[in-house]
Amino acid sequence: MKTVKIAGLTLAPVLFLIFTPLSATELIYEPVNPNFGGNPLNGSYLLNNAQAQDRHKDPDRLDTLYEQPSALDRFTDSLETRLLNQLLTDVGNGNSGELITDDFIVQIVDNDGVLTVLVTDRSTGDKSEIIVSGLNPTN
């Protein structure tokens, strides 16, 4: 009885394969990449997979070139901005003034409603002159 069960279990798959009609078709290659004729909707999926696997860093990438300014640099920038605002407020009241920093010399003169701002770069000596007319400091 036991040998009949073992024989039946071993012959069953063999008999199944013998009496089952077999069919075969030829293999057809379908490209996945849209560059080679694949579905164009696969493009973003493939790009996202490639970027997820990319472990190389671009040395020219802007966020890697940025350095966080120190607290002293931020304080200096804030102070220079405050002093320049005060200088412009004083010019609005009819006064002239000058602000000297490590990088620039800013001279502001008001000649009867014509505001002249002369900015001098201390490292190169380049000068820029900005003239704004139509100002009336008495209003």
Task: Report yes or no on 137 lying in a domain.
Answer: no
Let me know whether 50 and 91 are in one domain.
no
**What total number of domains does the chain contain?**
2
* Model pLDDT for residues 95-138, shown as the tens digit of each residue: 778 888 888 888 888 777 788 888 999 889 899 998 888 766 55
Let me know whether 48 and 89 are in one domain.
no
Dig out the tokens for 22 from the structure.
């077999």
Let me know whether 60 and 75 are in one domain.
no
Task: Report yes or no on 112 lying in a domain.
Answer: yes
User: E-strand spans in the chain?
Assistant: 97-100, 104-111, 114-121, 127-132
Domain boundary among 65, 84, 111: 65
- Statement: residue 43 has pLDDT above 80: yes
3-state secondary structure of 87: helix
- Give the structural domain span for 51: 2-65
Let me know whether 18 and 58 are in one domain.
yes
| Contact criterion met (CB below 8 Å) for 33 and 44 | no
